[in-house]
Structure 1
């Protein structure tokens, strides 16, 4: 951070601000998940490692990861906590400094740049003490901390809403994709108990599957168009509209890629991500795909949102049943994938189920966009308020 701060701010080495110390070791076998019996968070090098029954500290303090991948990350502990020897914490805060302001100022300072070079990531007290930061008068510290805390509260509230909506979506999918809507009669099937009116279909029978390809990189004209070209790196959202790469009509004619219809289901069939996830998406417009992808144009009997949510809701089950074993790069055995059986309701019920789950998914996406905006606003606020670029009025 620059030493250019307002004239009425102090620019001080942190050894003049607080005293740090490390905590006491606590083995993993002594840690549990949070419960009534174990309500005390245990802080290590990467933040909260678990919970225990006894508290080392009985007031909030600033915590810095000392060892590990996230060393240098700063936390503000709750009133009761335990600190392990993989964390540093403020044991004594000198008069004239606000604890919450210190937390935000250290966060903004990016302490990870002070970690040792080579070997296990480690940050010691000395480089932290030698770091100089800007400090406004105490009342202004308090006001800045209050503003940033209010933004954090909005962020936490929004994240909690997202988590609840995701739980709701999972519950809806489990109920609707198994029991449907309003059924009283059920039957046994190759995929388990399903409503009597439902049928069974293999993924290969849902419609027409297409593969893709990569146009020659040597032909620059192939890569100057505006037709989206989807590869696994683009499969991060439910609807694919834009991609990192785009190709021309000449590229489609001159390569093995194919034009995929709007509304088609897209899946990744070859990528390292298949170690843990089967990426699925819906084409929001006409596009093309590379050789690591497959695209499904559904027959009229099937609804894209129902099929999409069924595949995402049963992601790991489908992946376990169809992933090839022993390959250098993870890939789907498409012959096995094509034989995989799923239940399907009448089209009218598919639409109701797909749209019901989609309404929650839309709400989640909107909340996630809001969360991103709040985080960006906080980042800008921290840059302005913690450097004195923007001053806050303090009540006299």
Structure 2
């Protein structure tokens, strides 16, 4: 259908923003009605406020999101929900349409940042016929469903790998275990195992930030990672960075360009963001970069997850805790025999390969969605 059939209108002509209501005891509820606040899903309850699938729009707070529930839901008083005024408005289409708007710019001017209903109602949009709305929503929701499936697969595989690691290397229920234990500085360990110092078994490096005042260091072709790049990862795989630096910038960093497969761990604010790099990368001072001399970097990613409290206990700092490279090097760990590690590594590396491929596909799907979303919403792509 041609975009000539679309009409120009404003949100106030086709929908209203309904206020959420206060609610208690939703955070630990075992019920099945989702509860939404300004930033999305926050719990569950027994009774819905909105009886139909619709859009949730943040009302209060510095960041106010746009979310969709495909079933009846409850909204607390920090958010609105969208109620159509016309029959020919598909709420899932409305959700995708609103993703193209900057909700956080519609501020009422109160002390607490709040979404202005008046500004919202004056927002302009192009509204296609209902059949086109549904087709657009179906295309975009199919992409989102595939993205969500990939994320669920990633989470499941991560949990499996971590569970095997714990079973074998923490609980000592590994293949061929005899139960024979010997004393060590870390307590009883299986016979044939050993204790090692991280500084002896890992190559450990740090980074720095080239001067942001000197533009010759910035905007090149070399990836430059900060802990922020790891903060929103859905899998422990780093495929890109927000910033890039020039070769002059790389030369300001003692660790230079780290190879693909390096394990990055944020060393402060907070300690413990983790990722395996899938690209050559330079790092800032917020990381400890790890390359194992024996075993594998993914093995030590699991080890850090299991022992994060030990790392935090070795941290110092008044403003925020930071674990130094020297303190990290002095930590000791229990190490399995090589043959047992190799059995684990066959499983672990297979999982890591799937994680990398799934993450790449997910990022490609997200890029496609971001590319076509505005084009679908303005009729540039005709269906």
- Is residue 158 of structure 2 the alignment partner of residue 163 of structure 1? no
Distance 2:82 2:203 in 1: 63
Distance 1:238 1:228, change over 3 A: same
Q: Counterpart of 2:99 in 1: which secondary structure?
A: helix
Contact 2:143 2:369 in 1 (8 A): yes
- Is residue 8 of structure 2 the alignment partner of residue 15 of structure 1? no
Distance 2:282 2:37 in 1: 47
Flag structure 1 segments of 5+ consecutive residues without an equivalent. Answer: none
- Is residue 201 of structure 2 the alignment partner of residue 206 of structure 1? yes
Q: Compare 112-121 and 155-164 and name the one that shifted more.
A: 112-121
TM-score scaled by length of structure 1? 0.77
Aligned residue number for residue 192 of structure 2: 197
Contact 1:257 1:290 in 2 (8 A): no
Aligned residue number for residue 233 of structure 2: none
Larger Rg: 1
Match of 1:342 among 326, 330, 333: 333
Aligned residue number for residue 380 of structure 1: 371
Match of 2:57 among 51, 64, 75: 64
Deviation at 1:42, TM superposition (A): 1.4
Contact 1:18 1:94 in 2 (8 A): yes
Contact 1:323 1:332 in 2 (8 A): yes
1:1-396 to 2 correspondences below 5 Å: 6-27=3-24, 30-33=25-28, 35=30, 38-71=31-64, 73-117=65-109, 119-178=111-170, 179=172, 180-187=174-181, 189-206=184-201, 236=230, 244-245=244-245, 247=247, 257=254, 272-273=268-269, 275-277=270-272, 302-305=294-297, 308-326=300-318, 328=319, 330-392=321-383
Deviation at 1:70, TM superposition (A): 3.1
Deviation at 1:343, TM superposition (A): 1.0
Deviation at 1:227, TM superposition (A): 12
Contact 2:222 2:246 in 1 (8 A): yes
Distance 1:78 1:371, change over 3 A: same
TM-score scaled by length of structure 2? 0.79
Please provide the CA RMSD for this pair: 4.0
Distance 1:142 1:265, change over 3 A: closer
Q: Counterpart of 2:358 in 1: which secondary structure?
A: helix
Flag structure 2 segments of 5+ consecutive residues without an equivalent. Answer: 231-235
Q: Counterpart of 1:88 in 2: which secondary structure?
A: strand
Contact 2:316 2:322 in 1 (8 A): yes
Deviation at 1:338, TM superposition (A): 3.2
Distance 1:227 1:186, change over 3 A: farther
Contact 2:224 2:284 in 1 (8 A): yes
Distance 2:63 2:209 in 1: 38
Distance 2:297 2:23 in 1: 48
Distance 1:229 1:88, change over 3 A: closer
Q: Compare 128-137 and 39-48 and name the one that shifted more.
A: 39-48
- Deviations 1:70-117, CA, capped at 9 Å, x for gaps: 32x222223321122222123343132222222221222332322335
Q: Counterpart of 1:85 in 2: which secondary structure?
A: coil
Contact 1:278 1:315 in 2 (8 A): no
